[in-house]
Amino acid sequence: MASYLCISVRFLQPYSHGRNDNGDPEWPPSPLRTFQAVVAAAAGRWNERRRISYALPALRWLEARPLPVIVAPAGIPSDIRCQFYVPDNTADLLVPAWKKGDLTKQVRRTEKVVCPTHLAGNAVHYIYALPNSQCPYFEVLVAAARSITHLGWGIDMVAGEARIMSRKQIAALDGHHWRPAGAAGTPLRVPTEGTLRDLMAKHEAFLNRMSGDGFSPVPPLRVFRVQRYRRNNEPLQRPYRVFELRNLDGSRFRYPPRKLIHIAGMVRHLAIEAMKQDPPRDVDNDWVETYVAGHAKERSADHRQLSYLPLPSIGHAHADPGVRRVMIVAPVGDGDWLDHLARRLAGQVLKPMRGDEFAGREPPLLVPMSWRARDGVVRAYTESANAWASVTPVILPGHDDHKPDKSVGLIEKALAQSGIEQPCEFEWSAFSRFPKSLSAHKYDMDKRPTGYIRPDHLMTQTAVHLTVRFVDDLQFPGPLAIGAGRHCGFGVMAAPY
Amino acid sequence: MSKNSQFDHYLSDDGPAALVIREQLSPVEGPDGVLFPATFAAGDGFPGGYNIDTDAAGRNVCLIDSVGSQANRIEPLFMREAYRHLVPQIVIKAGTRDVNLLEAGHRAGDALVRCSSLQQELQDAFKSVLAGNAEALARIAPTSLVFGVWDSRDTQAKLPRVIGSSIRAFNVRKLTRGAVYIPPLDYSELDVFSEEDKAKAEGNNKSPLAQRGFVHNPASAAHGGIIADGGIRRDAILGLAAIRLLHAGDDAEKTRALRRYILGLSLVAFTAKIDSYLRQGCTLVLNTDQPREFVEVYPDGQRRPCGVTHDAALQFASDAAGAFGVGESRTVPFEKERAKRDVKVDETGKGKLKRGGRKAGVSAVNVEAD
């Protein structure tokens, strides 16, 4: 029966103040942070403050373990970054004033921003697979783990423990399971071969930083890796490719947001043409029809297709909402097909289908935007966020008859149809959180058509602007599109600023 | 069992990791009374005012007194008559002021005490800590071992806090208040200034007349305290595992005496009644309607009731202090020349930076895993 080494850290108050490399709250605490805590605890436990010796083999063994699974309660980063003012260690500078009898002078204070993570539980467990169910240094690791006193800041007091557990016991642990993931997920620092040696070298440098020759700066810790971790119910990111709309002279091309459906249609048309000519290998005969064009087969329960999403510009309250970019999104796992299509669309000129789309202007080119070059607009549509708001209205799978209860049911159905299973809260309105987005109304007060032009087959359904917030501070990756028009530019969501 | 060993199970590797107190508090006016939390300056997107956050359960939570603030309130306990004998009273004479080390913000690492005649002794004590012996520091500044210390301006030695305490209020309603200053006389009638000047000045905080109290001056929508619908709670932790990391070098007996001494001080501070008065408008007392939780927390998460009383803690601490040998109480002068030399070292040290380099062949690895 498989056994696992479980190193547990229990927070004695439901707060953690640890920060990641960007200075943002870090949750769960990274395996490197905990490894460093174990190393420091071992130094204290066996009073080897200058150089670790007794626990060295155990720590080397721990460093060499495959990446742990982390089981942790939900951690909600604080809404506010509160500025404390803590006294500088400069009380000696007050003495001249005191000598003159002026006792009113105060110690200078320095800013310290406090932004804790609120914990929905207290225990974080690091689960290491044991080769042959053997843990050769178990007693040493237990003693070291029980000597961990703090994790994060000095006010984050904890109690540590180490145990051998079975798979069944691990499955029963309270908390979310975080596993090493690929490109998507939360980046956490992890130890690697040489981390312990680097830590010890750093400590040696710290102890010897002052000498007769002066001061030698202590180098930072360098030997570690960054590994992305994903929570067990965290969704995978859909692959996407972004194209800028450019004129032949390279300048940006702007399309009116109200008519963004035309851009979606033209890009889709180019995709169909390109894939008819040169489809990927090993696709079915009807792949272009169903997957690229999006015509679902009758009674098909597992229909998958590309989405063509023109992106109105967003980013601040006065951003001009014209369409200057278009994104093609594939279902999870279809990155290769998307790459194949994107390479064949690069540099292509959009072809008007109605004839009047460009009002006398030259049609734009599709210029691919690399991942590294993605700008603030693209990031707002694609980076993970806990809260999402619609830029274009979400077209619901029916009419709500102006009844809120029915609206709720339709919204829930739309979320399910869009593949969103994670628990969330939502609110809706005719108006978007993005100030320059058009409302979800179809007609204005004079009964004239208003808002975004919709395809004919989506005219009768209710449309709303939606804000979705995922429970437990789940970070949902973009791109995200919800509702009946989610493949042609409706229900496109972005992280509200 | 000798009286000195009665709490040795707290110093055992199999013992609890910590003691935890959770006690419900109430404003002295009553559970629905208004209290005034600490206010914080605006900055970094924070609008300023009370620190009201949202916890994981969706309740709003307001910080009433932080860990640092609580430590600064508790530590001077050892200046009082009943407790003075437990720790050395180190007083630094600086001009017209006498500053007890127990009141120095950075404890044994404070610049004030470092620039006194204790400088060398403290430096040696901190260096001993770095080498694995906390005995010397316990003789000069034992409460630095209880509340934590960082010798930030010299050796950089750091010791974690053994005691952490904070007070928070839950599900709070924020209140505002308004007030108006009404001068006792109408100074314009006395021709101190004209009616026109009076009209311009009233309500104008930038006007000298308003600033000096000659005209009406309203103050609206100012912070008006909170009402804690979800109660107020003090959470205090005594980290026993941290005490077990204290050593007197390799001497087991001295190490035991040191640990018992620091445990005694910690138990006294932990079980003492805290000051009710935190700030103007914030006097908190125990809410006797709600049970107080005082438990031993074990590494596996088990919680068992703890029955240590303050009297028992004080008796134990006295005995442990006697066995350890409390350091000598002293009054020492602040030495200007030491401070000047200290500042000079800070300034010239920067010019003497020795550039370190990595040896060829040693890789610095920091890669993002695919």
Are B106 and A108 within 8 A, CB to CB?
no
CA A347 to chain centre: 31
pLDDT in tens, B45-79: 677 889 998 888 888 999 999 999 999 999 999 99
* pTM for the whole structure: 0.75
Residues on chain B touching A86 (C-beta within 8 angstroms): 68
pLDDT at A109: 73
What does the alpha-carbon distance between residue B241 and residue A41 come to, in Å, rounded to a whole number? 10
Q: Is A60 exposed, middle or buried (0-12, 13-18, 19+ CB in 10 A)?
A: middle
Q: Please give the C-alpha separations between residue A402 and each of A218, A452, A463, B295, in angstroms, as whole numbers.
A: 66, 20, 11, 56
Q: How far is B363 from chain A (nearest CA, A)?
A: 8
Q: Which two tokens stand for residue A272?
A: 């169909």
Q: Give me the residues of A, 202-241, that contact B with CB < 8 A.
A: 205-207, 211, 213-217, 219, 222-228
pLDDT of residue A350: 96
User: Would you call B349 and A214 a contact, using CB atoms and an 8 Å cutoff?
Assistant: yes
Q: Counting Cβ atoms within 10 Å, is residue B297 exposed (0-12), middle (13-18) or buried (19+)?
A: buried
**Rounded to a whole number, what is the distance in Å from the CA of A448 to chain B's nearest CA?**
43
Residue A381 contacts residue A492 (beta carbons within 8 Å) = yes
Enumerate residues 6+ apart whose C-beta is below 8 A from B318: B85, B86, B264
pLDDT at B65: 94
**Cα(B360)–Cα(A120) distance, integer angstroms:** 48
- Provide the token pair at A113: 């921003």
Q: Which residue has the tokens 């309603």?
A: B173
What is the radius of gyration, based on Cα positions, of chain A?
Answer: 28
Contacts of B20 in chain A (CB under 8 A): 12
- Check pLDDT > 60 for residue B350: no
Q: Is A45 in contact with B368 (Cβ distance < 8 A)?
A: no
* pLDDT tens digits along B192-202: 889 888 888 88
**Where are the extended beta strands (E) located within chain B?**
18-27, 39-40, 49-50, 52-54, 60-65, 90-94, 97-100, 149-150, 158-159, 163-170, 172-181, 217-228, 232-239, 277-279, 282-286, 293-297, 303-305, 330-333, 366-368
User: What ipTM did this prediction achieve?
Assistant: 0.84
| Distance, first Cα to last Cα, chain A | 50
Alpha-carbon dihedral of residues A417, A418, A421, A422, nearest 10 degrees? -150
pLDDT at residue number A99: 65
CB-closest option in B52, B132, B301 to A10: B301
CA-closest candidate to residue A46, choices B239, B324, B13: B13
> Which residue of A122, A140, A149 is the best one to mutate when testing the B interface, meaning the one whose CB has the most B CBs within 10 A?
A149
Both tokens assigned to B111: 């610049």
Mind listing the pLDDT tens digit for each residue in A214-258? 778 888 999 999 998 988 877 888 999 999 999 999 999 999 999
User: Which band of pLDDT confidence, cut at 50, 70 and 90, is reported for residue A442?
Assistant: confident
Best B93, B258, B354, B358 member to test A by mutation, with max A CBs in 10 Å, is B354
Query: How far apart are the two ends of chain B, measured CA to CA in Å?
Result: 60
Element (H, E) at A72: strand A69-72
CB contact under 8 A, B336 and A81: no
**Probe site for chain A from B69, B112, B153, B167 (most A CB atoms < 10 A):** B112
Q: What is the 8-class DSSP label of residue A334?
A: -
User: Which residue in B40, B54, B235 is closest to A79 by CB distance?
Assistant: B54
Assess A17–B contact: CB distance below 8 Å, yes or no. Answer: no
Q: Measure in Å the smallest separation between the Cα of B200 and chain A Cα atoms.
A: 34
Judged on CB neighbours under 10 Å (0-12, 13-18, 19+), A71 is buried
Please give, rounded to a whole number of angstroms, the shortest distance from the CA of A239 to a CA of chain B: 16
Q: Among residues 151-180 of chain A, which lie with CB inside 8 Å of chain B? A: 154-155, 157, 159-161, 163, 180
d(CA A358, CA A355): 8
Least confident of A118-127, A178-187, B241-250: A178-187
Nearest-CB residue to B364 (from A10, A50, A222)? A222
Cβ distance A44 to B97 less than 8 Å, yes or no, reads no
Q: What is the pLDDT of residues B255-291, one digit of tens each?
A: 999 999 999 999 999 999 988 899 999 999 999 888 8
Q: What is the CA radius of gyration of chain B?
A: 26
Count CB neighbours of A153 within 10 A: 15
Contacts of B117 (CB under 8 A, 6+ apart): B332, B333, B335, B338
CB contacts of B103 in chain A (<8 Å) are none
Scan for tokens 């350890």, then name that residue: B324
